[in-house]
Chains A and B, each alone.
Chain A
């Protein structure tokens, strides 16, 4: 059913630390690996060794540069996957009932046995989080690794999303954002975690932690040490000029 649940018991989601992420794309690879072998149709690669390769990913890392007036530029790596929005527009537009949001934990999923691959849900998502698989003709999106987090066949420490488990920088956190006392909620409160494009009313569950403020140097890095040298430097300057 593509009606959204009035409320969900839990709000499982990710908290991504933009201060810590080093942009290694480890989460991208772990995500692709896990989700190609498990939930639903595999994530295809088209023409992988040819001239025009392409493929489906559920998580991609973008890098941005931010620069304020008179300050050095700074690089921010931003992984983006489905934010499991509370008011998910991708769900309500779906004509078949393939897209749905689970009432128990808030995970947004696609039932591949109903999807017609119309692509309307991808149009409705502001974040580019849904990709139509070109081989399967079915809509793919982050499953929040629903087949890991409840999977009792896995050792306990592996019952988190593949991207979280693999992140070498510890930049990805998983938990219940509906519970104010959870570790992730406390982290969001402490670090000022924010929503992407909140004005579109999607109420994302996933949060991003902003980069921590950087120190400012007293001197700009590339000013000349001395424009008009005095003392020993002055003497050296003159002596060298005479040569």
Chain B
């Protein structure tokens, strides 16, 4: 799949934002007044910037309001609804915490659950697609959740919890690549896709177009295998292993947390680029890919 910057930014930032909301809802860190304002501000900026980025790739923004209407069937619609409800509820939690010093325990827990639901709905947009076997597996939602929880804990200043979560993320990333590679291979061949395999080995002689077009640009994107292998290890180290090691093995401090966060973010962006660029769509089989 074409790794569009808008979706990479969207999934990275909004995942982090809703991850931070999750911890803030649970009262982690337990802050009121000015510092509560700072934390909520960061969570809002991240999640809203992410959601805004996701609208950049829409061809026809003027109909955007309809996107909230099909929550009964569409995960994309559910995601929009869940995100808006979560953001709204957290406004009701943030205002009393900032200005009245209130605890807001019960609504906080509800908000945390909603934040997680939002992350799951985002992941399901990708997981549901049978046409992309690499995404269509149970580890995809696990990955999105671990990204959000780990990154959120790091932002919330819970360095040890963040360390363990990022360690779990490292393992999950590795497992998802393994399972994904197997699923991608099982897509079959051009012969299977065309139903012509009984005639022998099938290859594409001529494609249906001599110029570029939407389907090819969007879905028949390929990264070189060697390239991808290297990037995988870089993403694994930066997003998971290195920050986890820093957080778990060094004494907690602002500088180490900041370095861990910077490495993590860079790793997540590379990992998300790969998430899209490596995803093989079955339509590629018709193009001999």
Chain A residues packing against B (C-beta within 8 Å): 1-3, 18, 23, 28, 52-57, 60-69, 71, 73-76, 78, 80, 89, 92-98, 113-120, 122-128, 130-134, 136-139, 194-197, 200-201, 208, 210-211
Contacts and interface: CB of A to CB of B under 8 A. Distances in A.
Contacts, number: 190
Contact of B195 (A1, A2, A208): A208
A201 B130 contact: yes
Nearest to B215: A128
A93 B195 CA distance: 26
Interface string B59-76: 111011011111011111
Contact of B60 (A80, A89, A123, A137): A137
Contacts of A54: 211-213
Main secondary structure of the interface of A (DSSP, over half): loop
B132 to A, nearest CB: 7
Interface in B247-289: 281-283, 286
A60 B66 contact: no
B268 to A, nearest CB: 22
Given A62-B207, A80-B286, A68 B200 contact: yes
A-B residue pairs, 5 tightest by C-beta: A117-B59, A137-B59, A60-B208, A68-B200, A66-B199
B211 A55 contact: yes
B130 A93 contact: no
Nearest to B68: A95
Given A3-B72, A211-B199, A126 B283 contact: yes
Interface stretch (B15-23, B172-180, B186-194, B222-230): B186-194
Contacts of A78: 194
Given A89-B130, A115-B63, 11 more contacts: A62-B208, A64-B194, A68-B199, A68-B200, A68-B201, A75-B205, A80-B286, A95-B70, A96-B77, A123-B1, A132-B59
A112 to B, nearest CB: 8
A115 to B, nearest CB: 6
B197 to A, nearest CB: 8
Contacts of B61: 116
Contacts of B128: 93, 124
